[in-house]
Amino acid sequence: MAASKPLPEGLQLQTLAVREAEAKSQFGENSEALYLTSSFVQPDAATAARRFAGEEDGYIYSRFTNPTVASMEQRLAALEGTEACMGTSSGMSAILLMCMGLLKAGDHVVCSQSVFGSTIKLIAGEFGKFGVESTFVSQTDVAAWQAAIKPNTKLLFAETPTNPLTEVCDIAALADVAHKAGAWLAVDNCFCSPALQQPAKLGADLIIHSGTKYLDGQGRVVAGAICCSQQLIDERFMPVMRSAGMSLSPFNAWVVLKGLETLSIRMKAQSENAMALATWLEAHPQVARVYYPGLKSHPQHDLALRQQSGLGGAVLSFDVKAQGPEQSRQKAFHVIDHTQVMSITANLGDTKTTITHPASTSHGRLTEVQRQAAGIGQGLIRVAVGLEHIDDLKVDLARGLDTLA
């Protein structure tokens, strides 16, 4: 007995974010149930046989199906505007699942050179070992993506805005390049989340999420997801999930499910805080440059506002004024170490503001030459803005900025 009323068609994102889920249990719980179980009891042997053969719907085993995970998947798919979604144990395992499902030896991937560092290591390093070729191109140069296409190109992979320089790529233009080449376009939508940006509406075939970031939104769990068509899930991803098991735990799925309920208001409030902080930083005499899509000075400002619901997102970076790498690093450390509110951590997507020095943390494994090429200098500081009061955040950064020699 399903105790839920079916949802009407045409609901807005904010409504889907709190309402879309699996049917309620016979108890009629208002908050979605957490099904902490590894397996599901079958009514009889014949039903079990039909369910294992895929001839009848029904939960079997939580490596590949669980009602709490299904609720999270249905809700996230509804927000992204895709037919389906598959939850995974982390953002990286979502990318692993995608590449395992779509690629084979001899295939070629074109990827932005500014994507998350582990993504580059996974595609170029791990998949390189199995004979998948890859080419890394400029995030913002559509002609470079086009020029990198080969007859064996199967997948284009972008992330927008990027970490930490917030470079924005044109999703619709890249979808066009991909589809003319008979390839898929995947977009890592971690920084904007579907509350600000829905890549599927711009032509992306697959949307990758690190649920660890804004979807959970409060820094509690590691989680991931792929949003795409039902056909890709059935034909490409479910077989890999059943065999390889990069499964999302029901508990983590439940935390993300509840996080999605406040996603819109968090993204809006955190973007507004980030915009105010970016504007304030741009006017500060000790700041050389601010990277934030909401600022007019950002090279892809117009594109970003069009593509991101008029908001810049919650991540910004800035360079402190300094001479040479040594002094830049020392001044950046001074600013970071004088904060008393912000958390010094490389994570992002939390209600707590985080501050980090990319050159010595997330991008610390690159050589100085690679870092220079990526535009990540020793004076660069990244702030992922949370929900604290904006005045407290300004004072926190001013403590260090105002005392720079």
Ligand X SMILES: *Cc1c(COP(=O)(O)O)cnc(C)c1O
- Write out the residues near ligand X by the rule CB under 6 A: 90-92, 116, 159, 163, 188, 190, 210, 212-213, 222, 224
CB of 364 to ligand X, least distance (A): 16
CB of 361 to ligand X, least distance (A): 13
Residue placing its CB nearer to ligand X in the complex, 198 or 286: 198
Residue placing its CB nearer to ligand X in the complex, 320 or 376: 376
For residue 269, how many other CB atoms are within 10 A of its CB? 16
What value, to the nearest 5°, has the Cα angle with vertex 66 and ends 189 and 250? 65
CB of 95 to ligand X, least distance (A): 7
Residue placing its CB nearer to ligand X in the complex, 72 or 181: 72
Number of DSSP helices (H) and strands (E) in the chain, helices first: 17, 12
Q: Which residues pair with 304 in a beta bridge?
A: none
> Helix axis angle, 250-260 relative to 67-80, nearest 10°?
40
**Beta strands, E only, 283-328:** 287-291, 315-320
Residue placing its CB nearer to ligand X in the complex, 108 or 382: 382
CB of 118 to ligand X, least distance (A): 6
- The residue type of 401 is L
Cα 230 off chain centre by: 21
The residue number with the shortest CB distance to ligand X is 91
Residue placing its CB nearer to ligand X in the complex, 101 or 161: 161
CB of 346 to ligand X, least distance (A): 9
On whether the CB atoms of residues 71 and 153 are closer than 8 A, the answer is no
Cα 282 off chain centre by: 26
Cα 74 off chain centre by: 17
Residue placing its CB nearer to ligand X in the complex, 160 or 286: 160
CB of 178 to ligand X, least distance (A): 19
CB of 189 to ligand X, least distance (A): 9
Whether omega for the bond prior to residue 161 falls within 30 degrees of 0, making it cis, is yes
Integer CA distances (angstroms), 390 to 192, 275, 309, 338, 384, in order:
20, 10, 22, 17, 13
Residue placing its CB nearer to ligand X in the complex, 79 or 287: 79
Residue placing its CB nearer to ligand X in the complex, 328 or 356: 356
CB of 191 to ligand X, least distance (A): 6
Residue placing its CB nearer to ligand X in the complex, 159 or 205: 159
CA neighbours closer than 13 Å in the CB half-sphere of residue 52: 10
CA distance 237 to 232: 6
CB of 190 to ligand X, least distance (A): 4
**Beta strands, E only, 184-238:** 184-188, 206-210, 224-228
CB of 307 to ligand X, least distance (A): 16
CB of 188 to ligand X, least distance (A): 5
3-class SS of residue 2: coil
For the chain, the distance separating the N- and C-terminal CA atoms, rounded to the nearest angstrom, is 70
CA distance 307 to 198: 8
Integer CA distances (angstroms), 340 to 337, 400, 405, in order:
8, 10, 20
Residue placing its CB nearer to ligand X in the complex, 198 or 212: 212
β-sheet with 224-228: strand ranges across: 84-88, 224-228, 206-210, 184-188, 153-159, 108-112, 133-137
On whether the CB atoms of residues 158 and 169 are closer than 8 A, the answer is yes
Residue placing its CB nearer to ligand X in the complex, 103 or 208: 208
